[in-house]
Amino acid sequence: MSFEQVKYDVCVANRILAEVGLATGVLASLGHSSQRVPDAPDRFIVKGRGYAIDALAAMKPEQMIVCDLEGNKIEGPPNSTQCFEVKMHSSIYKMYPKINSVTHVHPRFAVVMSILQAPLSAMCQEGAEFISKPIPVYPHVKTIQTEEEGVEVATLIDGGPVLLLEGHGATTTGSTLEESVMRMMWLEEQARMNWYAYCAAGPNHRSIPAESLAEMTNRTPLPELPHFVESMQGHRPSMGGVWAHYSNVVSQGI
C-alpha cells in the first residue's frame, strides 16, 4: 500500500468522524485518526493542522502528514503541522507494534460520563462486548502535548482498545482504520445510552445482564445454520456496512 493510498484512507477516516457527528459544531476541528504505513512500520500518517479550513469534514488527502515514531513531521504541505496531540499517536505506535490505527476525538456523551465518573456498562448491542471490560481513565483534562504525556497515555491504554480522557475525550486503537473508528462510534453509542439511562433511572440504573451478553458469543456461525447453508455457500456475508456506507458518502466530496 503506497503512502498516497494511506493518505487517502486516513483522510476518509477523518471525514467520517465529522459525518457521524463525532467532530461537528464546536468540535469540528478537533480530533484525528491515523494509520501506521503498512510497508514502513516506523511511519504513520495523521491529520494535519494549519489549513485555511481546519475542519475534519473538509480534509483532503494531500493535507495528511507523514510522521515518525517520535511524532516528528517527516512530510506534508508547507506551513502545515502534525495534529497537536501527535504524541498520543506516536507513543502508542512505538509501544505497541501490533496497533496500526489510532483515533482520538472529543465525543460529547463519553466526556460527560467521564466527569460524572460513571463507569460505562452495556446498554445496547452495538459495542457491547467492547464495553464489557472496565475502561481506563486518564484523570486530566489537558491536551496531550509532551513526550511524558504521550507515554502516560500509551502506558495507561495498555495495548487495549480504548481510553477515556476525563473531561477531554477518548482514544481508540485498532488493527485497521475501520476498527479504530468503529470502536469510537461504538463507545459514543454506549455512552449516549448510558447517559439516557443515568438521566431516567439514576446512577444505579440497570444494564444488560452478563449472562445475556454471554449469549452473544460462541454461537453457531450463520453459514452453518440450515436455512443459510445454500445462500451463504462459498462466501461470508459482508459485515462492514456502516464503514462502507460512510466511506462512500464522504468520498463524494474529496
Binding footprint of Zn ion on the chain (CB under 5 A): 169
The CB-of-87 to Zn ion minimum distance in angstroms stands at: 11
Q: CB 47 → Zn ion: shortest distance, Å?
A: 12
> Closest CB to Zn ion among 127 and 169?
169
Per residue in 57-78, is it b (16+ CB within 10 Å) or e — as a string?
A: bbbbbebbbbbebebeeeebee
161/169 with CB nearer Zn ion? 169
Report, in Å, the least distance between residue 196 CB and Zn ion: 25
Provide, rounded to whole angstroms, the least separation between the CB of residue 163 and Zn ion.
Answer: 12
CB 136 within 8 A of CB 164: yes
Give dist(CA 12, CA 57) in Å, integer: 9
As given in the structure block, the three cell numbers for residue 89 are: 499517536
Cell of 45: 500518517
Could you give the maximum distance between any two Cα atoms of the chain, in Å? 60
- State which amino acid sits at residue 180: S
Cβ closer to Zn ion: 3 or 51? 51
CB nearer to Zn ion: pick between 84 and 228: 84
